Amino acid sequence: MRSLMLPSQWAACFLAFSSLLTPITSVKHENFKTCDQSGFCKRNRAYADKAVAAGSSWEIPYQISKESLSWKNGQLQGTILKTINAKGESVRLPITISFLESGSARVVIDEEKRQKGEIELRHNSKAKKERYNEVESWVIVGGLTLSTTATEERDDKKSTVKYGKDGQFEAIITFAPFAIDFKRDAVTEIKLNDRGLLNLEHWRPKIEKTEPEKKEGEEETPTPEAQANKDEEDESTWWDESFGGSTDTKPRGPESLALDITFPGYAHVYGVPEHAGSMSLKETRGGTGAHTDPYRLYNADVFEYIMDSPMTLYGAIPFMQAHRKDSTVGVFWLNAAETWIDVIKEKEAHNPLSLGIGSRSDTKTHWFSESGLLDVFVFLGPTPKDVTKAYGELTGYTQLPQEFAIAYHQCRWNYNTDEDVKDVDRKMSKHQIPYDVIWLDIEYTHEKEYFTWDPLTFPNPTGMLAQLDQSERKLVAIIDPHIKNTDNYPIVDELKKKDLAVHNKDGNIYEGWCWPGSSHWVDCFNPAAVTWWKSLFQYSAFKGTAENVFIWNDMNEPSVFNGPETTMPKDNLHYGNWEHRDVHNINGMTFHNATYQALLSRKKGELKRPFVLTRSFYSGSQRLGAMWTGDNEAKWDHLAAAFPMILNLGISGFPFAGADVGGFFGNPEKDLLTRWYQAGAFYPFFRGHAHIDTRRREPYLAGEPYTGIITRALRLRYSLLPTWYTAFHEASVDGTPIIRPHYFEYPSDEAAFAIDDQFFIGSSGLLAHPVVTESAESVDVYLPDNEIYYDYFDYKTYHGQGKHNILTPLDKIPLLMQGGHIVPRKDRPRRSSGLMKFDPYTLVIALNKAGTAQGELYVDDGESFDYESGAYIHRSFSFGNGVLFSKDIGTKGKLTDKYLKTMKNVGVEKIIVVGAPASWKDKISVKAGKGEAKIEYHAEEGGKAAWAVVKKPQVAIGENWTIEF
């Protein structure tokens, strides 16, 4: 759903004309800041330019006071002295460097005067004096145990700390100027302040400067003092800053913080979503094809966003990974304020005669945030999985969702009535098109008052939900954070009475404009607001809802139509009197969290996994549900952009991600819509969505051959739900992405480090390369090794590392099976995933060159938290020497036996062996468990592998067994 861009002078007439207004049809760049328009961004870039221009003569004003240092229990504490003038006066900046049991390290720098509250605020502001220090409480859920084996040695110039397993990691902290080198196995992997760009803007009082009056006709002769002032830092945005008709009052003055982070020997960096661009980040200062602005992280309501841009979008994850051959490292910048990141890549030859041969690439990044602490975690790998796992230990792993949530979702703004919803439901069933969830955008409410139903268009929500429930289908309804400011609306009355809304800079309830017109925003930083919010979702309060209703949180950046950059003023005040500038990027997550908690407590005794979709997010949001990439367009380049975005989100810890299938804005041509469904079948979050002004595009409306092709894509997703759910489980326990880029699976293959249009699905060996370009007659699929690969559909074989061309008529999805894997699936078509619950399984065994294969299957009830008490099946399948084994790899819990009883009749109905040996051609049966089963052999033909199928082997999915071929 999309915001309207309303000039403030229209506000008074918004309510009267809201039904007539339609969203503007393209992104308005002038509504969003560039770096030059952001005071602290411009200042820190200028600081970097000054350092570069000075070269070796650059004087870094930060040094650690050696006398201040103390070491205890894996933690080094001390004080950095920042020299602030020629007199040698300094500001004290407490520093804590923690070495964690996990092998990660953490560096935190604060400001002593701010810690002690020894500053004065301007404008009689009620804002906190400290630097914001509570982001950890929202984001970090574990992994902070200090190392008991780390050791420290110190001399006059540096401190050296050895930590990690067997002391393989090392941190060298140089005192003057302050810098840290992080090493793994004696090789420097990450450098902090290597270029001397550390810049913490300390508090200072505003001094009004007056210029002497100049007499008429008198030429200005600059004094030495005036000339010196010209060379000083630009103060024009220190004390206030205007943009788009709004002025930020900045009661604490300038307070930004910046640090350069260098990855020596690394040419590729990934992460820091959300941006519409390549997975491997581009340079932002110099270089071929570089951006001109840094990558920006400032959650914003940006519609019809442009491609290949560092422009901010809806979410922010300040987690970056660097990768080179056989090595991955990473950093996590824990700061919730507006943040920008410059990226520079430099190539250095080993000697003047090398002509680039044997040269080394360094990636040099520069991070700057507007306020808060300098708080950075360092991960030294060495594998991609090591880095994502360490990050996940801190911020949590992705939620294991209910199984319906990873099936297909049918959405548009808006389904007009409850009868419209029921009609779509019936037609999807009539055309045998599977789907699990239908969605309602804002028009279901009574005059955009959340927790209500429009009495004219949705008079019988209970009957609507009952029909959906007959097919095990669900409904998702939108609930946004803006609460309509109107009479006779008990929700807003309570919000005001209990003082649970965000305040303006003067401490009064903040009023802005969003979908309902005049609105207030619930402040979910306030525990009392969360408690109140939870009460609104109880079935007795939100009448007409039931167990099969789930929630969509949109507009939670927050989107404010008449606010600066379409969001809240930075000097607004949240619970505890923290300024909005301090918490902006986690605002959406706090609202997402409140809704998640609400769904957990809708009814006493009902404990099912919530499903809550969010648009705005931050590190840690992965614990709460899914996200989508926002308001894309029905264009081929938007289809192509989705996978790089989703892959970047996956490696950044938020793998439950998707894009609007078909494009939110515009009317897709039928080829584009069809290709988008084929691609969407590989999005972890799979939802078709459309704008209110678009033509209806439910799959059954496309007509043949399109409806048939789309239906086959949907059925492919449903048949592979066991594989997808197993991948979700893996992500939920160790942070491994659900769809994985090549570098993640093949960290030695330099040719594939930047590939972001194909990927592996979990650990299944399925390699997908959906078609995302117009009129494509073929695609080049890159194979990372010399293993055998089989076409998923017809078993055509591909051999040899490198690119292989695959023909792609409209009904073709390029999907390969890597030899050596066993893929679980369910082949019986159903209307929804809930109706597949007790269906039998098919195992597809894709043999490798050695004639072996292995795979896994994870199964639970798909809805409750009983799996935490052992109510699940986790099997390992392995094939070798003509024998297929099924082995239990789960851990028994108190509910294991009870769950296994419910699954005792669920078996394997079919086993397909692809690449079956010719020696099987005369076989007519195999030994399956205690009996025998028939086998059919199909010989190799026309470049397609031989395959065999075993039908009805009479083995249960939850038991140990062997099948001998």
- Residues classed as catalytic: 554, 557, 631
**Overall size of the chain counted in residues:** 965
**Who's near 800: CB < 8 A, 6+ residues apart?**
783, 786
Positive or negative CA dihedral for 51, 52, 54, 55? positive
Give dist(CA 571, CA 590) in Å, integer.
18
Spell out the residues 6+ positions from residue 368 whose beta carbon is closer than 8 angstroms to its own. 40, 41, 44, 199, 256, 257, 258, 259, 339, 340, 341
- Residue where the block lists tokens 């945030």: 369
- Amino acid symbol at 137: S
H-state helical runs in 825-924: 896-902
Task: Indicate the DSSP class of residue 220.
Answer: P
Instruction: Based on DSSP, count helices (H) and strands (E) in the chain, helices before strands.
Output: 17, 53
**Are residues 357 and 720 in contact, defined by beta-carbon separation less than 8 angstroms?**
no
Pairwise CA distance, residues 751 & 746, whole Å = 10
Residue 470 DSSP class = H
Burial string for 235-253 (b: 16+ CB within 10 Å, else e) reads eebbbbbebbeeebbbbbb
- Give 604: exposed, middle or buried? Use CB within 10 Å, 0-12, 13-18, 19+: exposed
The upper half-sphere exposure of residue 665, i.e. CA atoms within 13 Å in the direction of its Cβ, equals: 19
3-state secondary structure 548-583: CEEEEECCCCCCCCCCHHHCCCCCCECHHHCEHHHH
Token pair belonging to 177: 């100027």
Do residues 379 and 390 lie in contact, with contact meaning Cβ atoms separated by under 8 Å?
yes
String of DSSP letters for 512-525: EEETTEEEEEB-TT
Question: Which positions ≥6 away from 420 have C-beta within 8 Å?
Answer: none
CA distance 844 to 663: 34
Among 687, 714, 567, 699, CA closest to 627: 687
The vertex-604 CA angle with 598 and 608, nearest 5°, equals: 60
- 177: preceding bond cis by omega (within 30 degrees): yes
Q: What span, in angstroms and rounded, lies between the C-alpha atoms of 690 and 667?
A: 9
